[in-house]
Chain A
Amino acid sequence: MTQFLSLLLNGISLGAIYALIALGFVIIFKASEVVSFTHGSLLLLGAYSIARLSEPLGFFFGAIVGIAITALAALIIERLIINRLRGAPVISLAIVTIGVDIILLTELIRRIGSDILNVPHPWGGGSVRIGDIGISQNRLIATIVAGVLIALFFVAFKYSSWGVSMRASAEDGETAALMGIRLGRVSALAWVVAGALAGVAALFLVGSPTPGVSPTVYTVALRAFPAAILGGLDSTGGALVGGLLIGVSESLASGYQDQLLFLGRGFGDVVPYIVMIAVLLVRPSGLFGTKELTRV
């Protein structure tokens, strides 16, 4: 039982980080109608910038500037490429983002080389015990920060002018434009927010129990994609639920891998995709996705 609760808590903390990434993925889809595969390299860019900058600038400034760099990179991708391709088929746009992702990823891997960069988190690698349940301090702080950010995001999405503009243009872009909403600005802001959320996720992903910055951080974003898709690609609530679901199932599958040995080692790594496929077989548009995504 203790083991179960411990795995559950760790799964939730991992899921909260996935949810941050998946939320960005979803709002980009809503605002720009692009399935953006740039998130993997944006995440790695965030991790790399924070690691490189926290030595000269100190941890806090380094983290803030690193997150800002990630947001800026997302904005540049949107302004330079996505905004100019408005109206292109969704598939072409998705392939374009894969191209951008590969270019950025290749450069980052070249820069990182075979080093493992460390981010000097002031909370270190220690862990906290709540009763019998243990969790790393880094993951605990990540859960709290992610929870606060996600709550702020939902409040802004529901009540702010940005949120109303965003939801209106996601539902009917042409009519939103007729009402004076600037679609380009809504889309740019969505990318900035998504970039910043990826930066925050990166900050916590490279701390305990993960050993520092290495290109494997990239694969974490790949696990946030199924989170966004099984929640429903156009549902922000779905991204949150999807993130938690993936995080918890991954954590449980890794934790109980001795009992699951008949499936082979490393089963935890494939669980996100198995969960995604299982959910989509039952609900093809995801748990909370709109049934009909195309308008007639």
Chain B
Amino acid sequence: MLSIDSLHVTYGGAVQAVRGVSMEVPDGKVVAVLGSNGAGKTTLLRTISGTLRLHRGRVESGSVRFGETDLGSRDPAQTVRMGLVQVPEGRRIFGRLTVEENLRAGGMGSKDKAAKAKAQDRVYELFPVLKERSAQRGALLSGGEQQMLAIGRALMASPKLLLLDEPSLGLAPRIIGQIGEVIAEINRQGTSVLLVEQNATMALGVADLAYVLDVGEVSLSGNARELAQTDEVQRLYLGHDGDGDEAHMRTRAASGKRLSRWTA
């Protein structure tokens, strides 16, 4: 289980990106973190994966623990070997490497050849299109395929907990639906998932638990389905005015129109 306890993170000693966040990702669950730009979602993932230092960020107080281990001083490679793997925002696939080489790069953290072969079979089973395109350069894939490759690449390390940073970013609604199904399937196969999203419809559809981040603080948390019914989430994240018309809500969300406090 991943547990975060009253975490404070600053950048450059001045900007407070995360202010006293506590949350838990129980084993075998999908946990969604919702929030607008600047809510601290990406900072949270950087803290967990150990890449905060690359962005001149610093944990001021609080702790991040995975099982019994404190993740505080770990570097990214150590974090991967512990079983936490992050799919970065914007996919960030290696465009000049082939699809197969991208997957190999994902397995670099471990030396276990049998586990890697098994992981690769699993990835090709989840995403048959990657197998068809295994010799193509990553840059030539479509956006949806690149996201699948980014997820597949992370699965090569056989993670216990998969961290996803906005997998729906820039994708068509139909593809976002597929990504949601894939996340559910990965979770059924035994991997816990921490899903950071702006697309609340997809995220709350697959998640068991959800947290809403608001300017660095947790403003709401609880069971994902119950949370989806609350007025605040309906209004701010599901683009809905709260009269309970579900069909209406879906079309609004699918067309990508979401209201938020800052852009409205």
Residue pair B77, A175 in contact (C-beta under 8 Å): no
- At the interface, yes or no: A132 with Cβ under 8 Å from chain B? no
Which residues from A are CB-within-8-Å of B95? Answer: 171
A165-B108, A168-B105, A175-B88 given; A180·B76 CB < 8 A:
yes
Instruction: Tell me, yes or no, whether A174 is within 8 Å of chain B by CB.
Output: yes
Asked whether A177 lies within 8 Å of B153 as measured between CB atoms, the reply is no
Q: Do residues B110 and A180 form an inter-chain contact, with CB atoms below 8 A?
A: yes
Residue pair A178, B51 in contact (C-beta under 8 Å): yes
Q: Is the CB of A180 within 8 A of B80?
A: yes
User: Which chain B residues lie closer than 8 Å to A87 at the CB level?
Assistant: 54
Are A177's CB and B51's CB within 8 A?
A: yes
Chain A minimum-CB-distance residue to B96: A171
Complex: A46 Cα to B23 Cα, angstroms: 57
With CB as the reference atom, state the residue of chain A lying closest to B156.
Answer: A179
Q: Is B86 an interface position by the 8 A CB rule?
A: yes
If over half of A's interface residues share one DSSP class (helix, strand or loop), that class is named, otherwise mixed; here it is helix
A168 near B97 with CB under 8 A, answer: yes
Question: Do A161 and B85 touch (CB < 8 A)?
Answer: no
Chain A's nearest CB lies how many Å from the CB of B140?
A: 15
Q: A178 to B88, alpha carbons, bound, how many Å?
A: 8
Residue of A nearest to B91 (CB): A175
Decide yes or no whether B196 CB sits under 8 A from chain A. Answer: no
Q: For A161, what are the chain B residues with a Cβ–Cβ distance below 8 Å?
A: 104, 108
- In the complex, what distance in Å separates the CA atom of A176 from the CA atom of B108? 9
**Cα of A171 to Cα of B109 in the assembled complex, Å:** 18
Chain A 255-276 interface residues, beta-carbon cutoff 8 Å to B: none
B interface footprint on A166-186 (CB within 8 Å = 1, 0 otherwise): 011001101111111110000
The range of chain A's interface size is 10 to 19
Q: Which residues of B lie under 8 Å from residue A174 when comparing CB positions?
A: 51, 54, 88, 92
Q: Are A172 and B86 in contact (CB under 8 A)?
A: no
**Chain A hits for B110, CB < 8 A:** 180
Report B74-111 residues with CB < 8 Å from chain A CB. Answer: 75-77, 80-81, 85-86, 88, 92, 94-97, 101-102, 104-106, 108-110
The reply to whether A180 and B94 form a contact with Cβ atoms under 8 Å apart is no
Please state if B109 and A164 are interface contacts (CB–CB under 8 Å). no
Pairs A-B, 7 closest by C-beta atoms: A180-B109, A180-B80, A177-B76, A168-B105, A175-B92, A182-B77, A181-B108
Chain B residues proximal to chain A, CB less than 8 Å: 49, 51, 54, 75-77, 80-81, 85-86, 88, 92, 94-97, 101-102, 104-106, 108-110, 153-154, 156-157
Interface residues of A (CB under 8 A from B): 87, 161, 164-165, 167-168, 171-172, 174-182
Since A176-B105, A178-B88, A179-B109 are in contact, a sample of 19 more A-B pairs with Cβ atoms closer than 8 Å, ordered by chain A residue number, is A161-B104, A164-B104, A164-B105, A167-B97, A167-B101, A168-B94, A168-B105, A171-B95, A171-B97, A172-B92, A172-B94, A174-B51, A175-B88, A175-B94, A177-B77, A179-B157, A180-B80, A180-B81, A181-B108
